[in-house]
Amino acid sequence: MKFNNGFFCSFVLPSFLVLGFFQESVHGRPLLMSPARPRPDNAAAFARWLVSQSSWGVLNTISSDWGGAPFGNVVSFSDGLPDKGKGIPYFYLTALDPTASNALKDQRSSFTISEYNLGTCGKKDPENPTCAKITLVGKLKLLEGTSKEAEFAQTALFTKHPEMKGWPKSHNFQVFKLEIENIFMINWFGGPKPLTVEQYLHAKMDKQTLIADATA
């Protein structure tokens, strides 16, 4: 990527990165409640945290109705059970909606999330590079209704978005996944973080790694 945004190069690790991690303590021993914001320079863990903690984003497809324009649409998603995300975003879409309809004709897609939604950006501007944003670029694919992955995805979606269970059967909602091919993430000064799909999908998200990360 050509983006090389090196402005404001001071680096102060805010104390909330450390303090926010331990949400309770028992007899002085920290008790991990839920994954806290990883260090920005741990790109893979940070990206997985941002995706896992978010509940919605903008899903982009190529519009067959509007001359091939890139068409963004607000959608809910899940990448797993709460705090147990696997990094792959799943969606519950109907072909009555242009996003699913577009994807069935042209799978090229991207999915964009802002940290601003999580309330962890304080008073920063939403475009401030330290208020993170991620775009996962890839192919939006319909899952086989009877597959193990579709079953996992539907459980993940319905757990995070209980309303989905009541969406009308007549609309034939189906599970889609974004098969990720490239990752664009900015979470600090200096431009997009180098991050491969392999690194992202296999990020260490266990408690020990994250505690070490938060206290480093």
Write out the residues near a second copy by the rule CB under 8 A: 1-5, 7-8, 55-58, 60-63, 65-76, 94, 96-98, 101, 108-114, 116-117, 124-128, 133, 135, 137-138, 161, 163-164, 167-168, 171, 181-182, 184, 191
Query: What are the φ/ψ torsions at residue 213 (nearest 5 degrees)?
Result: -65, -45
Q: How many CB atoms lie within 10 A of CB 2?
A: 5
- Cβ 48 to a second copy, closest distance in Å? 18
- Cβ 122 to a second copy, closest distance in Å? 12
- Letter for the amino acid at 2? K
Beta-bridge mates of residue 125:
none
Rounded-to-integer distance, Cα 126 and Cα 29, Å: 35
Pick between residue 63 and residue 210 the one whose CB is nearest to a second copy: 63
Pick between residue 112 and residue 120 the one whose CB is nearest to a second copy: 112
- Cβ 159 to a second copy, closest distance in Å? 13
- Cβ 204 to a second copy, closest distance in Å? 26
- Cβ 28 to a second copy, closest distance in Å? 36
Pick between residue 55 and residue 147 the one whose CB is nearest to a second copy: 55
SS3 for 88-149 is CCEEEECCCCHHHHHHHHCCEEEEEEEHHHHCCCCCCCCCCCCCCEEEEEEEEEECCCCCHH
47 burial (CB, 10 Å; 0-12 / 13-18 / 19+) is: buried
Pick between residue 86 and residue 160 the one whose CB is nearest to a second copy: 160
Pick between residue 96 and residue 216 the one whose CB is nearest to a second copy: 96
Rounded-to-integer distance, Cα 53 and Cα 50, Å: 5
